[in-house]
Structure 1
Amino acid sequence: MMKRSPFKRTSPKKRTGHNKAMLAACKDQPCYLRIPGVCIGGTETVVPCHANWPEYGKGMGLKAKDIYTVPGCFACHAWLDQGPASKVEKKNAWEASYQVWNSVREIKLAPKQNPATAVTVPGHVPAPN
């Protein structure tokens, strides 16, 4: 009888465009989608809502890159993914939210300057790197 080789485990596939920092930035944020009559507000159910359009990398079996996320409550996320609104209405709502969120996220994820190395000379402007 032939001896079987042990089952070989492979590491999980890394999703193209996966970025933990982009997803983590949504944590503890309010809902940015704020769909009237749908939004439940608060931060308890907020998750990253990915774009659902090919322009953002979404495709059959593919999720958009994590840079294309907006914090959204459970109800707004469900509306975006399965709601009765038209594709155009959903896209307009997501893109308007993304414009606001993107500028907030840039500030949130900006590298923090170490106070110990910061220049404290009044009137001195550091040279760009």
Structure 2
Amino acid sequence: MRDSKRLAEIRKLPCVRCGNPNSQAAHSNWAKHGKGRGIKADDSFTVPLCHVCHSDFDQYKLGNREQSEAMFEKWLAKTELMMRKNEDVF
């Protein structure tokens, strides 16, 4: 499902990994979240990542697929807290 309001809110948050204030909405890379060949995951499975962290995440430079999936799940929970509280949770 596409949710432009959520994506706009995600982009206002700092990078969930390094705290950089300039972030992008990074989608999940897993089929369980709706990802498919040429199809982005559901927008509800997005986290704020800066350009460098987003690129490293998508290229599995932060860990293998299993590690990346576990990391993303933690980031997703942290992102939900950040959106609810509208503050940093670093």
Q: Which runs of 5+ in 2 are unaligned?
A: none
Q: In the alignment, which residue of structure 1 is the partner of 2:83?
A: 105
Higher RCO, 1 vs 2 (CA within 8 Å, ≥6 residues apart) = 2
Return the offset for 1:77. 0.5
Task: Tell me if 1:75 matches 2:52.
Answer: yes
Instruction: Judging by fraction of residues, say which structure has more helix.
Output: 2
Q: Which runs of 5+ in 1 are unaligned?
A: 1-16, 109-129
Q: How many residues align?
A: 85
Which is worse superposed, 83-92 or 99-108? 99-108
Task: Tell me if 1:56 matches 2:33.
Answer: yes
Aligned equivalents of 2:8, 2:54: Cα separation in 1: 17
Q: In the alignment, which residue of structure 2 is the partner of 1:11?
A: none
Structure possessing the higher radius of gyration over alpha carbons:
1
After the TM superposition, which residues 1-129 of structure 1 pair with which residues of structure 2 at under 5 Å, given as runs? 17-32=1-16, 34=17, 39=18, 41-44=19-22, 46-84=23-61, 85-106=63-84
Aligned equivalents of 1:59, 1:29: Cα separation in 2: 26
Return the offset for 1:83. 3.0
Q: In the alignment, which residue of structure 2 is the partner of 1:8?
A: none
